[in-house]
């Protein structure tokens, strides 16, 4: 019990530090005029940036695996970049403390989600007034993206064809089906289908990923390691080193991801088109 109290107290301190450094970044942002652009937002002012950086809560009905994106570009001087670094360090410390709790006292997680919002009543009340509820831990610790160096241009594009693929054995797929409801007719059909293939055949469980905005960053000068560009996802505003306070050239992407695939299907795609076990999103590999 003593360990649990200590871990909870340390996490509360880490959460306080996260909010405090975020507020300091916002103050620094508002103190000096600078170029900033946000997707579908005419004026990305301090209040808009506050909503994006302090969005720590699930919205009612939000999928627990989903996170909110705030696509924006901010021209940053050295002082603002230091403030961003402080926030990212606080996020890392918060994530590390959560990791300690998951290892030593996983049962505390529900209590954490109930207690931490009240550490900052004004913040909690503001968000609650918008219909927001539970603490979203991933949105607390995800890092604010920062460009490695000044940029000449940024190319923004939606990436909506992403998916994760996990290999499964026939035995693992069977266990997952049995854990759902072995008496349900649609599960029995899939179990019979599974019994008709060789035990050693590998299967693929596919999880479609939510659309993300991806930025292709072109450096004004090659980096010391020779890199001239970098690609990264932008779930939060991208802070770009800019001593003159000006943004590099950038395009204007669509405000929402396009419907359907945005990339051509790979000619060497190895999975069959038809799902093999619909309840698990499991596919067979194409025969050679």
For 91-150, write each residue's pLDDT tens digit.
Answer: 999 999 888 888 877 677 777 767 776 777 666 554 444 444 467 788 889 999 999 999
Phi and psi at residue 40, to the nearest 5°:
55, 30
Structure-block tokens of residue 51? 């909503």
Q: Are residues 82 and 171 in the same domain?
A: no
Q: Are residues 91 and 184 in the same domain?
A: no
Q: Quickly tell me which residue has 């072109």 as its tokens.
A: 218
Q: What is the pTM of this model?
A: 0.75
Q: Is there a contact between 280 and 174 (Cβ–Cβ < 8 Å)? A: no
Taking alpha carbons only, the member of 115, 86, 123 closest to residue 11 is 115
What is the rounded end-to-end Cα distance, in angstroms, of the chain? Answer: 57
Q: Are residues 132 and 184 in the same domain?
A: no
Q: Cα 117 vs. chain centroid, distance in angstroms?
A: 20
Q: Are residues 175 and 45 in the same domain?
A: no
Structure letter (DSSP) for residue 266: P
Is residue 156 included in any domain, yes or no? no
Is residue 251 included in any domain, yes or no? no
Q: Are residues 115 and 63 in the same domain?
A: yes
Q: How many residues does the chain have?
A: 288
Is residue 98 included in any domain, yes or no? yes
Is residue 255 included in any domain, yes or no? no
Which residues of the chain, if any, have pLDDT below 50? 126-133, 262, 264-268
Predicted confidence at residue 273, as pLDDT, reads 87
Is residue 259 included in any domain, yes or no? no
Identify each DSSP E strand in the chain by its residue range. 36-38, 57-59, 72-76, 132-135, 151-159, 163-168, 203-208, 212-219, 229-233, 238-241, 249-250, 282-284
Is residue 157 included in any domain, yes or no? no
Structure-block tokens of residue 149? 């160096």
Q: Are residues 128 and 173 in the same domain?
A: no
What's the CATH number where 145 sits?
A: 3.50.14
CA pseudo-torsion sign 22, 23, 26, 27: negative
Predicted confidence at residue 106, as pLDDT, reads 67
Q: What percent of the chain has pLDDT over 70?
A: 85
Q: How many domains does the chain have?
A: 2
Q: Is there a contact between 151 and 248 (Cβ–Cβ < 8 Å)? A: yes
Q: Is there a contact between 15 and 94 (Cβ–Cβ < 8 Å)? A: yes
Structure-block tokens of residue 54? 């302090």
Predicted confidence at residue 274, as pLDDT, reads 92
Q: Are residues 187 and 224 in the same domain?
A: no
Residue 273: give the domain boundaries: 163-208+268-284
């Amino acid at each position: 019990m003593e360990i649990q109290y200590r871990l909870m107290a340390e996490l509360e301190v880490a959460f306080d530090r996260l909010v405090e450094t975020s507020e300091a970044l916002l103050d620094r942002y508002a103190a000096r005029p600078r170029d900033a652009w946000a997707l579908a937002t005419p004026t990305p002012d301090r209040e808009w940036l506050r909503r994006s950086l302090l969005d720590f809560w699930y919205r009612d009905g939000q999928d627990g695996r989903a996170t909110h994106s705030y696509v924006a570009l901010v021209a940053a001087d050295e002082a603002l970049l230091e403030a961003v670094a402080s926030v990212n360090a606080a996020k890392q410390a918060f994530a590390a403390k959560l990791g300690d709790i998951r290892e030593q006292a996983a049962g505390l997680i529900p209590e954490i989600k109930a207690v931490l919002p009240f550490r900052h009543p004004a913040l909690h009340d503001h968000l609650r007034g918008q219909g927001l509820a539970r603490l979203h831990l991933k949105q607390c610790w995800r890092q604010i993206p920062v460009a490695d160096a000044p940029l000449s241009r940024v190319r923004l594009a939606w990436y909506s064809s992403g998916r994760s693929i996990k290999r499964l054995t026939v035995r693992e797929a069977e266990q997952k089906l049995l854990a759902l409801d072995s008496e349900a007719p649609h599960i029995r059909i899939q179990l019979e289908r599974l019994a008709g293939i060789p035990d050693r055949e590998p299967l693929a469980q596919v999880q479609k990923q939510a659309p993300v905005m991806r930025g292709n960053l072109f450096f004004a000068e090659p980096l010391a390691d020779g890199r001239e560009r970098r690609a990264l996802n932008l779930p939060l505003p991208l802070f770009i080193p800019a001593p003159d306070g000006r943004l590099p050239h950038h395009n204007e992407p669509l405000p929402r991801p396009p419907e359907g695939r945005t990339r051509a299907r790979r000619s060497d795609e190895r999975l069959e088109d038809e799902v093999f076990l619909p309840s698990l999103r499991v596919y067979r590999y194409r025969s050679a």
